[in-house]
Amino acid sequence: MDHFDHHDGRLWCEQVPLDELAAEVGTPAFVYSASTMRDHVSRLREAFEGLDPLICYAVKANSNLAVLRLLRKAGCGFDIVSGGELKRIQRIGADASRVVFSGVGKSVREMTAGLQAGVLMFNVESEAELEILAEVAAHVGQTAGVAIRVNPDVDPKTHRYITTGKKENKFGVDLERGEALARRAIELPGIELRGIQCHIGSQITDVAPYGVAIERTAALARRLQPDAPDLAWLNMGGGYGIYYRDADAPDLADYATAVRPALEGLGLRLIMEPGRVIVGNAGVMLTKVVLGKTSGAKRFVIVDAGMNDLIRPSLYEGYHRIWPVRGDAPPALGTEADAAPVDIVGPVCESGDFLAVDRPLPAVERGDVLGVMSVGAYAFTMSSNYNDRPRAPEVLVDGDQYAVVRERESHDDLVRLERPDAKLRSLGASAGEQESHT
């Protein structure tokens, strides 16, 4: 469910018409629905009722401070993967005891910052990481709570770039090594084994792999429980699929049904790390038609948003519904008989710069605004300044009001940190001893 709707000849985000919003804030622009995000958090709680999950929103999906603040108020904890994300959740007043620190390559600086902030636990992904974390904890004089991330060797049948729970993936350790690593954590001074974690991938639309993964992970937890007095959590990760092509996605209750049997009698509280399922369908990107072009039999619609704004189609072969924000609502998928196929492409100087290929689209003219749907997750956070293009603004809509929660970048912003006149110096020389070799 989302709060975007075509009526009265226009696409609306809640009670805000997107054609008027585009005229106000310009294009390209990302627009987020606050009501959609709140609803998705509520639906997660309802689906997993009785399991009392700690919902740790995956900050990497959409890290805008206004979005994080909204989700904190909705009762979410946070899943972070960097020191930068830790700073963000501290800025919005998050409770660090409801934060898990994930990531396969945490630096000593990040470990130190997490310990000093008081995060609930670090998701540990290797033997080397556990030993380093123990050293850092001793140096800081604090105890590090950890969860061992295991790979249950389950194929989630998603895109190869977002599969994370198979033996050949870089994340976590296999179950046998995971048990040995957990027992090492129990023995290490300055370390508390607080959880076992698995995460099998992203955009998973088949619930069955979750059941298998949690069954294998829970079996490991049961073996450890007699020797692990601090073991209190089982973290099932995230990765729940959303709709991109149409309005149909697995019911969240189906995921809960798949994992409940393995959790019966376990006595551990559940953590989940959803990102996309909360914010993915809560976003639309507004982009304006620059011009049309024909090359042989191929028709192009060139818009002012490019792969630097939304890289998913180029990187993941991601599909996003695209339709004009003015005019009739889009027909059901596969029934667009009157809409001729076009390639919707951007201005970036790359052949891979496209938002859609051979996509049915009604006739559009220069200046028309298109809505690119389901861009609340892994869109702005993966955007870049390639071709020296300023990043788009982010806008939050709540009811009939909106706020620009991140301003559009300027060309001055792009060069603010550059120093073309910086003086060269030898390694080890102080700032006062710089030598110019130009």
State the catalytic residues. 349
Strand partners, 397: 33, 402
Contact (Cβ atoms closer than 8 angstroms) between residue 65 and residue 286:
no
Q: What is the DSSP string of 261-299?
A: HHHTTT--EEEE--SHHHHGGGEEEEEEEEEEEEETTEE
Contact (Cβ atoms closer than 8 angstroms) between residue 240 and residue 277:
yes
Contact (Cβ atoms closer than 8 angstroms) between residue 199 and residue 239:
yes
Region of 415 (left: φ > 0; alpha: ψ -120 to 50; beta: rest) is alpha
Rounded Cα distance between 232 and 302, Å, is 53
CA distances from 199 to 111, 166, 313 (A): 21, 10, 24
Angle at the Cα of 388 (from 384 to 391), degrees rounded to 5?
45
Reported as type and span, the H/E element at residue 54 is strand 54-58
Token output for 372: 């690119």
